[in-house]
Amino acid sequence: MKKTTTLLADGRELVHYDARDDVVRDAVDQRPLEPTTTASEIRHDPLLDEWVAIASHRQTRTYHPPADACPLCPSRDGRHSEIPAADYDVVVFENRFPSLTGGPGPLTADAPDGLLAHRPGAGRCEVVCFTPDHDASFADLTPDQARLVLDAWTDRTAELSQLPGVQQVFCFENRGREIGVTLSHPHGQIYAYPFTTPRTARTLHSLAAHRERTGGRNLFDDVLAAERADGTRVVLTGDHWTAFVPHAAHWPYEVHLYPNRRVPDLLGLDEAARAEFPHLYLELLRRFDRIFGTGEPPTPYISAWHQAPVQHADRRDFALHLELFTIRRTSGKLKFLAGSESGMNVFINDVPPEAAAARLREIATQEHRGHHGQHKKAGQQQ
């Protein structure tokens, strides 16, 4: 992988990740852009002990532009986009409308006892363009292309973890209008948070409680072992990864993908796990697109990497894993977060996890049964 870093016209950083070492990236952003001046704030919710980002400048972000005005396509035929190159492999750049931006700042409380606390929304938000093909999706990538994205995610995790004030790095993809995506070009995002996210903090609490209750056992290891032993919710296995629908899945179709050897973040993956990952992940994405039948529109989904906080006493006990889920519960119907979910964070799932896993096994492609059946390291059907 070759990495080339440059600046856009408004001062934002852009990084090319190329599969070939002989590629030269010297294109210059020709747009007449003013330097970026975005700023955000985070405010503390004392009842939930959570931080909320306030970023009013995002109201003006690009919203469903036509294909010929897509800002994530290459710059061609006299039209300049966010990527000043006629072609690319994988590109990462600073978001023009970030939720978090800048360096750390002082904490201020506007009421006694530390209430009404707020500080600058320090951090960084980046966009990851998976392919120059506007009409493709991640599932259309080759294993080599998907591996390059994995390497880019890993490199960005390493880089962003070194920024002052950053506590956690989150790589994710939103796909589909139903999810809220405003750009249809295949892309993902990376958030570098100035705090440990509520979801991870709660998981770390459960991790510590399980360790205390079991005399030192690891919760992630035990959950993965239990799912593999039960087997009814396992969707795919390889020599280095296991994909399963969790016992208490929140979403209609939800798959967790774990490396069989626990590591805290993407940097901890060895070469064998990196080589196997693209095959299993691409197969999962392709199955997601067939859950509801070939006549249905592409399945909307969120794909999210869960990584350990940058600095935490229990980070070595945390298990890197990817969570993939869709908000579509059946053909033509979405799973809305209504009163119980939004009001009390109690999920009600209409699809039994065992039925979801069975469906995801059932729709294995013939290609998967053939190619991957011969080479089980790339993913053995269960």
Instruction: Write out the catalytic residue numbers.
Output: 187
Q: Check if the beta carbon of residue 121 is closer than 8 Å to that of residue 53.
A: yes
Location of structure tokens 């390059």: 148
Measured CA to CA, the distance from residue 231 to residue 256 in angstroms comes to 14
Write out the two tokens for 258. Answer: 């774990």
Alpha helices in the chain, H assignment, sequence order = 143-160, 198-213, 219-230, 271-288, 344, 353-362, 366-367, 373-374
Residue among 203, 173, 176, 177 at smallest CA distance from 190 = 173
C-alpha distance across the termini of the chain, in Å: 33
What does DSSP assign to residue 97? S
User: At residue 375, what is the residue type?
Assistant: H
Location of structure tokens 């796990």: 273
Q: Is 376 helix (H, G, I), strand (E, B) or coil?
A: helix
Phi, psi of 18 (to 5 degrees): -115, 145
Phi, psi of 143 (to 5 degrees): -55, -35
Residues in the chain: 382
Measured CA to CA, the distance from residue 304 to residue 171 in angstroms comes to 6
Phi, psi of 317 (to 5 degrees): -90, -10
Sign of CA dihedral 39, 202, 173, 181: negative
